[in-house]
Structures are given as C-alpha cells and as structure tokens.
Amino acid sequence: MPNTTLVPLLADGEFHSGQALANALGLSRTAVWKQLNRLQSLGLEVESVKGRGYRIPGGVELLDESRVRKGLQPPAHALLQELQLLETVDSTNAEVLRRIAAGTAPGLVCSAEQQTAGRGRRGRQWVSPFARNIYLSFSWEYHQGAAALEGLSLAVGVAVVRALSGLGVSGLQLKWPNDLLAQSGKLGGVLLEMAGDAAGRCQVVIGVGINVAMPTAAADTIDQAWVDLTRLCDGSPPGRNTLLAALLNELLPLAASFGDTGFAPWRAPWMALDAYAGTPVVLHSGEKRQAGVARGVDDRGALLLETTLGLQPVFGGEISLRAAS
C-alpha cells in the first residue's frame, strides 16, 4: 500500500536522508515528505534530524514469511496449510471468516501488521497499531459440534503461555475465560468464532492478540490496565517473527488434537496459571451481577464459583470476571 512503502526502508532504525529515500522509491522529495507524514497515522514515530535524515527510533520488525516458516517445528509445519501475512486488514478473525466463506481449507493462518477494526470479546475494540504487536488468527475444522469445543479458549491460553515461556517470558497468568495477564495488566487475549454447523461439522477461528511494543499514543485509547512484552523483557522483547512461529508451534498441534482430547488434559495446566484462584470475584453479565469465590474450572472449562448456594459451574459467553472490591 502506498502509505507503507517507506516502512521497510526505515525498519532498521538508522537515519536515511530524504534524497536516499526518494532515490530508492523513485519519487520526488516532496512525495517522500508526504509519505513520512502519513506514517504518523500508522502510529509510527518518525524522527527527523537536520543533516542526518529520518529514522524510526528503535526500528521495527516487519512480518516475514520466510523467517516465520524457518522457526516452525515439524508438527506445526505439517499442519500449516497457508500463511497469509497482510499489511493492513480490518480484523484477522474477519479475514479468516471471509476466506472460510470463500471455500478456503482449514489450516489457514492470517497475521497482519495492523488491524483497523480489531476486536476482542463482547465487541470491544482491540487496539492494533502498525508493526508493534501480534494479531493472529487461524482456522481449524471439527466434526463434533460446538459442545465438543468447550474449554478450547482456555486451552489456547495455556498454549500461548507455553510459547511465551519458551522465549524466556515469565510471570504470566490466565484470567477466565480469555485473558493473558502479567504484572496485574492485560498482555493479550483470545477470541474464538465459529462458522458452519454448531451441531456438527464446523470451522473455528482462533484469534490471539499480544501486546509486544505498544506505542504510548495508541495506549492512551486502552481503557484497562495493560502491559507489553517490551516492559516484561526489560526493553528487549522477542522478535515478532520468532514470536509468531513460537505461537504456531504450540497452537496448531493443540487445535489438531483438541477434537479428540477435549479440555480435560488442559485443566490442570490452566489451574496452575489461574490469576484469580481462591479470590472473591464478581461476574458481570449485562445488568446482572453474581458474587462468589473463584475455585478454578471444571473439565468443560466452566468457572467454578463458590456461593452461598454451593459450587456452581459458570460457562463463558458475554460474562466479565472482576475482583470483588
């Protein structure tokens, strides 16, 4: 796209003169200046120093198919049917759903530099600045219907933690049903959507978003406590291509086996990461409120809420869990 042609030239974080950029792109200096201004709309900071030129401080790592594929282990490589890396998309989940409707086979993986209409659970906006975070969606086919997929989003959370832990990220926890936490802030989230027959053959789109290096300007629009890998890793987070490959190494085998195993083998690992175990909580669903103590989850991924009436299973949906004040 025209407004991102400069990014690969500036991705190294070094200074490049306006003339050098113009020569590389075959454009006038005026046209280059206009493109530099457009980069601000992508959430990219461009520094200008007289006599030295322009740079993106710290540089950016753009998604690269060859680098992602190089990081895949044999099981994930065998399961991956197509890797689609986009510059800009409304939503990676929406893109995969469109591809499913067009007849694309399961195993499609889609990631993008930027989402213009990224979304999380309950229709909330997912802040998605250019080339700073991970926006990942992929499809898998199941034949047992939605009932057999209970707990899948929780298992995905465990797989994401395993991928990050393998890259040296520590202190991670999970919040029922879909959030990845660290240092009391939200690091990432999971969004599952379905296409097909809810009682039989269906394709599930598994979406994962992870904050890697959230720009301050973009963070100003986030309405909850958050954290990114840059903060957790003391300014040196894993590269986005390395991270994307690590996620696929965990997520694709999980998706392929979940129809047979269900959530049961993932329950204990999830419980070990439960951020709210034994904590008084309040569940919010529309105008309804339900208070109790979080006691983990059952074999179907339902939250076990201890109330005055005993231990009650609560299934996901349009429910938000918060610590009791």
- Catalytic positions are 121, 186, 322
User: In Å, how far from its chain's centre is CA 42?
Assistant: 18
Q: And the tokens for 263?
A: 């959530």
Q: Is 70 annotated as a binding residue?
A: no
Q: How far apart are CA 53 and CA 41, in angstroms?
A: 20
Q: Is 121 annotated as a binding residue?
A: yes
DSSP 2: G
Q: Is 312 annotated as a binding residue?
A: no
Q: How far apart are CA 158 and CA 175, in angstroms?
A: 11
β-pairing verdict for 320-323 and 280-285:
antiparallel
Place of tokens 């895949």: 72
Backbone angles phi, psi at 71, to 5 degrees: -85, -5
Integer CA distances (angstroms), 227 to 214, 218, 275, 323, in order: 8, 13, 15, 18
Give the SS3 label for residue 77: helix
Q: Is 231 annotated as a binding residue?
A: no
State the SS3 of 179-206.
Answer: EEEECCEEEEEEEEEEEECCCCCEEEEE
Q: Is 186 annotated as a binding residue?
A: yes
Q: And the tokens for 76?
A: 């994930």
Q: Is 320 annotated as a binding residue?
A: no
Which residue ranges make up the annotated binding site? 91-93, 115, 119-121, 186
Which residue ranges make up the annotated binding site for biotin? 91-93, 115, 119-121, 186
